Structure 1
Amino acid sequence: MPRPAQTSIDKKIRETISNNLTTLTESQKMTQADLAEKTGIKKTTLNGYFKGTSTPNPGNSQKIADALGVSKEVLDPRFSNHVLETLESEIQDKSSIPLYGSIAAGALATVEGITKDNVEHLTIQKELLGKHQNSTSLFAMKVNGESMNKVVPDGSFVVAKPISYLEMKDDDIVIFSHDREYSMKRVRRDEEDKVLVFSPESTNKKFRDIVVPYDTANDLKIYAKVVWYSVVLN
């Protein structure tokens, strides 16, 4: 069983080798079986390189490069200082954020129990996250619903920062649960009536404000505030 990549640069190297292998073999009309025969490397081992699930050792990189008639620098970025520096620069400019699933009933119940090592990740340019770009607590979710579609359409990704009830501010878009219902809405405090108002921003009139009196806020759980979201234009 191949060992998983331990760092972002390891993953990027595997991805680059996989892409290079595919491009080089397709251009030469060479199959994996042909390459295995030419190099003496087992087909199962080669398959890991093609899929990007394992990394060739230096000896195997040389064998593959020789079989393809290229220098090993063309195949494997670890042997090209320029390419490796470029990959490292790309990694440093991006954030890899754990993707916890959809904002839907029950989906958030296990957020606190999930570790960053056993979920998919969303990669985002750091500069897009503004002042939050160096935060280590961010997580991403996929929007499932139309209640905020004027701002964040159904199917969009959001990046959120965990906050407490006391840290919540008026006009924040928050991910929360109340009476076992999970949702994302814009929040404001109504000090006169002593209530929290969670408002939809939707083209669908069926969505209504969720009003939570201060004295019943024990049933309210604030998970996070949205700090970034993606929108795909039609």
Structure 2
Amino acid sequence: MGIRENIIQLRELFGVTQEQLASIAGVSRGAVSQWEGGFSEPRMGSIQKIADYFRISKSNIIEDNGMSFIDPVTKKPKGSPYMPSGAIPVVASSATVPLLTLGRVHAGSLADEEEVAHRVEVPASVCAGHPRAFALEVEGDCMNRVIPEGSHVLVDPDRQPANGSIAVVETEDYRAVMRRWYKGSTKLMLSADSFEDYEDMIFGMDDGPVRVIGTVVWFQAANEME
């Protein structure tokens, strides 16, 4: 099963039309039809957009039988959470968890593959309750009343945020932000918790998808790191 078959199976699994997939990938509906007919293949930029939107890996689209690694019930990669670029899974030990954090999260965006030189230890008791969590380093001051800049945050991709939770989310234009989450019946508000002056980010029902990357469940301030 190659790219053509993977795209057909992806549309069937997630219940999207060719037109909807075209909008996600940033191409025309005719281009999707060409992909499924085997007359052309999507560019890597389109593949990345599709993978990011559905929280799957590019390999699920590119490799033979790639979609067979997507759980048909959860619609997630089997045994693997969605993680933003640069994040790595946390592996618990008997005492503490050595962790080399590769990702950074900002009030604006997640950096690509920017390595952080130091290490942070996450208590095994924390990891036990969040087995698929990953870590990111905080840049910016939009949450500095609670989480100082330079802290490491542990993000659980399986925990949906409740009102008031600190969430890492991705907006329609592929910007990732860390804010407090407040969702009403018709509006979603992402609010800073900062000593500085930041405007709330407010989204309506017609403003495009806001995807939850995960909920912050633990953090360690920079001055506590060894």
Could you state the TM-score of these two structures normalised by the residue count of structure 1? 0.47
Could you state the TM-score of these two structures normalised by the residue count of structure 2? 0.49
